[in-house]
Chains A and B, each alone.
Chain A
Amino acid sequence: MTEGVPEFVPAAVRARLRELRLLARRPSGSPGFGAHPSRSRGAGLEFSQYRAYQQGDDPRQVDWKLHARSDRYFVRESERDSPLEAWLLVDTSASMAQGDAARPGWSRLDAARGIAACVIELALRQGDRFGLVTIGGDGVTMVPAAGGPRQCNRCLLHLHRVQAAGSWPAPDSLRAVGECIGPGALVLVLSDCFDEACVALAGQLSAARREVLTAQILTTEERDFPFRGGYRFTDPETGDELLGDGVSARADFLERFAAARRTLATRLAGQGIRHVEYFLDQPLDAPLQRLFGRASGEAGPDRT
Chain B
Amino acid sequence: MSLGLLLPAGLAALFALLLPLALHLTRRTEQTPTIFAALRWLRIRQRPRQKIRFEEWPLLALRLLLLTALALLLAEPVLYGAPGSARWVVVETGIDRAEARAAVAAPHAEWRWLASGYPTLERDPPAGMVPLASLLRELDAALPDDAPLTVVVPARLDGLDGERVVLRRQVEWRVIESGESQPPVAPPGPAVLAVRHARPDDPALRYLRATAVAWRTAAAGPDERRVRVEVAPAGAPVEPDMHWLVWLVPGALPPGVRAWIEAGGIALLDAATEPPVPDPGAALWRNARGEVLVTGRALGNGRVMQLTRELAPAALPEVLDPDFPVRLRVLFDPPPQPDGAFASTQAPRSGGLELSPVPRPLHPWLALLVAILFVIERWLATSRARERPA
Contact = CB atoms under 8 A, between A and B. Distances in A.
Interface string A82-110: 00000000000001011001000000000
B39 interface: yes
B41 A236 contact: no
Contacts of A240: 39
A249 B32 contact: no
A244 B39 contact: no
Given A221-B36, A242-B39, A230 B44 contact: no
Given A230-B31, A243-B48, A95 B37 contact: yes
Interface in A234-263: 234-238, 240, 242-245, 248-249, 252-253, 256-257, 260
A98 B37 contact: yes
Contacts of B287: none
Nearest to B53: A229
Contact of A229 (B32, B33, B44, B45): B32
Contacts of A95: 37
Nearest to A96: B37
Contact of B44 (A98, A221, A235, A244): A244
B43 A256 contact: yes
Nearest to B42: A253
Interface in A56-87: none
Interface in B40-58: 40-49
Contacts of A101: 34
B48 A229 contact: yes
Contact of B45 (A230, A233, A234, A252): A252
Contacts of B31: 230-232, 243
Contacts of B38: 192, 194, 222, 253, 257
A233 B39 contact: yes
B241 interface: no
Contacts of B18: none
A161 to B, nearest CB: 22
A235 B47 CA distance: 18
Given A97-B35, A235-B37, A249-B43, 8 more contacts: A98-B37, A230-B48, A232-B33, A236-B35, A242-B39, A243-B31, A249-B42, A253-B43
Contact of B42 (A229, A233, A237): A233
List 3 tightest A-B contacts by C-beta distance, closest first: A230-B48, A95-B37, A244-B44
Contacts of A98: 35-37
Interface secondary structure of B, over-half rule: loop
B47 A244 contact: yes
Contacts of B47: 243-245
B37 A248 contact: no
Given A229-B48, A243-B48, A234 B33 contact: yes
Contacts, number: 88
B301 interface: no
B41 A243 contact: no
Nearest to A95: B37
Contacts of A229: 32, 48
B85 interface: no
Interface residues of B, number: 21
Interface in A104-160: none
A227 interface: yes
12 contacts: A97-B35, A98-B36, A227-B34, A229-B48, A230-B49, A231-B31, A235-B39, A236-B37, A245-B47, A245-B48, A249-B45, A256-B41
Nearest to A249: B44
B34 A232 contact: yes
B43 to A, nearest CB: 6
A83 to B, nearest CB: 37
B30 interface: yes
A249 B45 CA distance: 6
Contacts of B48: 229-231, 243-245
Contacts of A252: 43, 45
A238 B39 CA distance: 10
A230 B29 contact: yes
A249 B49 CA distance: 12
Interface in A245-304: 245, 248-249, 252-253, 256-257, 260
B30 A234 contact: no
Contacts of A234: 33-36, 39
A2 B97 CA distance: 97
Contact of A192 (B35, B37, B44): B37
Interface string A164-190: 000000000000000000000000000
Nearest to A234: B35
Contact of A257 (B29, B34, B41): B41
Nearest to A253: B42
Contacts of B41: 253, 256-257, 260
Contact of A235 (B32, B33, B36, B43): B36
A194 B43 contact: no
Interface in B1-47: 29-47
Contacts of B46: 244-245, 248-249
A242 B44 CA distance: 7
Interface centre among A97, A238, A242 (most CB of B within 10 A): A242
B71 to A, nearest CB: 33
A93 to B, nearest CB: 9
Interface in A188-230: 192, 194, 221-222, 227, 229-230
